[in-house]
Amino acid sequence: MIETMEIHSDAMRRDCALTHGVVMAEAVAMALAPSLGKQAAHEILEQASHDALSRNETLGNVITRDPRVTALLAPQEIAELLKPENYLGNAREFCARALECWQKGN
């Protein structure tokens, strides 16, 4: 699979845009968690995600109006967190495991 895998970054960006940025909610929640706690951050982003989708707005627009978020994150910080290319999540771990399996011949 790895030998023939192709990355289509333009398609990935289009797919991310289809979610109105909701796919990046975890990145924002992780940035808020040290101050608010994981559960509170998760709840804020869960509601913001629902609001964004139901209103056909971007997640960025919704959370920049939320004082619980803007008290902790500046607009530029929010914008950076919402860029998929800035957030790898567990990607390094997944890649390392995939490479390890490939090297073992699995």
**Nearest Cα to 86, choosing from 36, 10, 35, 31?**
31
Task: Locate 92 and state its tokens.
Answer: 């390094």
pLDDT at 30 over 70: yes
Please indicate whether residue 104 or residue 34 has the higher confidence score (pLDDT): 34
pLDDT band at residue 61, thresholds of 50, 70 and 90? very high
Give me the chain's average pLDDT, please: 90
Of all residues in the chain, the percent with pLDDT exceeding 70 is: 94
Q: Taking a C-beta distance cutoff of 8 angstroms, is the pair 68, 48 a contact?
A: no
Round to whole Å and give the CA distance between 84 and 47. 20
Q: Note whether 59 and 22 are within 8 A (CB).
A: yes
Q: How confident is the model at residue 103 (pLDDT cuts 50, 70, 90)?
A: confident
pLDDT surpasses 80 at 67: yes
pLDDT digits (tens, 9 = 90+) for 2-22: 678 888 888 888 887 889 999
Spatial CB neighbours of 63, under 8 Å, sequence gap ≥ 6: 28, 44, 45, 48, 69, 70, 78
Is pLDDT at 60 greater than 80 in this prediction?
yes
Among residues 16, 71, 18, 61, which one has the least CA distance to residue 41? 71
